Amino acid sequence: MTIEQLKDTITAAGCVGAGGAGFPSAVKLAQGADALVINAAECEPLLYSDYMLMKQHLEEVAAGAEYVMEATGISHGYLGVKEHTAHRLSLEDGQAISAHVTVKCLPNVYPMGDEIILIYQTLGRIVPPGQLPITVGVIVYNSETLWNICHAVRHSRPVTQKWVTVGGKVSQPFVVKVPIGTPVKELMKQYAVTVPDDCVMIDGGPAMGPIINPEQAVITKTTKGLLILPKTIPAISSKLATERTVRTHASANCCQCSLCTDMCPRALIGYPLRPHKIVRNSLPLMQQHPENFTEASVCCGCGVCELTACCQGISPRGVYQQVKGLLAKAKLRYEHKGELRADPDRDYRMLPSERFMQRIGVAPFDTGIPTYIEDAWQPKCIHLPLRQHIGAPATPAVKVGQTVAVGDLVAAANGMISANIHSSVNGCVTAVTDTEIVIQVQA
């Protein structure tokens, strides 16, 4: 298959980054790469969706990688997987899982799933800040994305299902494969999951995932997990702080110990992030001269500075997020010049996953590998957001009253940075709005 044929196939199937970013997968395909890295690091605590997918369908993940490598002329691929996950899957470092893909065991540290860190750990290459992995000859796909690519190539099957971990403060964490568009409240009812008053629900991992309203949220192409966690643990209380609190606390209480910079995973591979410096600046100064703070755009938001390094409860990540807003308004981006060099002490400053879980308060909820629920349950109706990806929302391709089947195109990509959306159920379209398509399931 040529690169153009593969692009057409995965564009038609609506493949986007399944790891959380939602970047249209075809856009990543380019000539000039010599390595493919499968992101199976499952970066954040309590998530087991990628593990469960690989346990059951590793051959299909590897096949997806082989299709990409054949089309792009890449000679070797690496399954980037943490040591503990490799052990659970009975895989060893260097083991071949297909003709051109071998296992690369990664240390059990956070945030190993950050694409930039993953590439450095796997290949020793530093992606220049603000640029894409292809600049250092690498293409990275999440394991679930490659599973979707495999299905698109082998069966012309579009993306309609999602592997989701339901965990945290629940009686029994589980992983389930559900139709995209499933309302979270229906899923909770089906599997007897509740959100107690002293808890919130997180979409994704505890450190980086946003708080969501389970009454309104739906499963999208990027949902990896639904975690129910107490409001009082550090991972959650930091999300509940207002912007003003973040700023005033930072400028009033920072003792300039610089531990946040010493531990920043991206600073440790040479990125220009200096969180201990950003917290010293006042908002008016940043508003007047955002051009002096463009390095904020290369912060990945991992939260190591805030959730582990800082002993004063300050959020350099929160300050960087506010600066990112200013940069977006002013249409400014960081432009890198010069050489990059990783810190020689990096190996001693990486953050063990176990320690991270304890610091952010989620260790009590890591009760081992969750149950896998395999059933054919379907919700009564699905809500398909027209934007489940980075880029322009898809354009509706169906009308109210129209009957659709699983896999039918219901919204078409709107330009190159967009994605097709397909029905994940057999049913009848009951609403088409500016933001979503609603389909009533027919038995």
Return residues touching ligand SF4 (CB under 6 A): 254-260, 264, 266, 273, 275-276, 279, 299-305, 309-310, 312, 314, 316-317, 320
Closer by beta carbon to ligand SF4, 180 or else 269: 269
Paired with 35 in beta bridges are: 76, 138
Closer by beta carbon to ligand SF4, 233 or else 273: 273
Closer by beta carbon to ligand SF4, 167 or else 209: 209
Paired with 231 in beta bridges are: none
Instruction: Tell me the helix, strand and coil percentages in the chain, rounded to 5.
Output: 35, 20, 45
Which structure tokens are listed for 162? 């999602």
To the nearest 10 degrees (0 to 180), the angle between helices 3-12 and 143-155 is 100
Closer by beta carbon to ligand SF4, 215 or else 347: 347
CB of 405 to ligand SF4, least distance (A): 44
Across 54-179, the runs of DSSP E, i.e. the strands, are 76-82, 101-106, 109-110, 138-142, 161-168, 174-179
Closer by beta carbon to ligand SF4, 201 or else 259: 259
Closer by beta carbon to ligand SF4, 29 or else 351: 351
Q: Which residues lie closer than 8 Å to 296 by C-beta, 6 or more apart?
A: 278, 320, 323, 324, 327, 334
Residue 15 to residue 128: CA distance in whole angstroms: 26
Q: For 26, how many CA atoms within 13 A lie in the half-sphere containing its CB?
A: 24
Paired with 139 in beta bridges are: 36
Strand order in 174-179's β-sheet? 211-212, 199-203, 225-230, 161-168, 174-179, 371-373
CB of 137 to ligand SF4, least distance (A): 24
CB of 349 to ligand SF4, least distance (A): 11
Closer by beta carbon to ligand SF4, 217 or else 273: 273
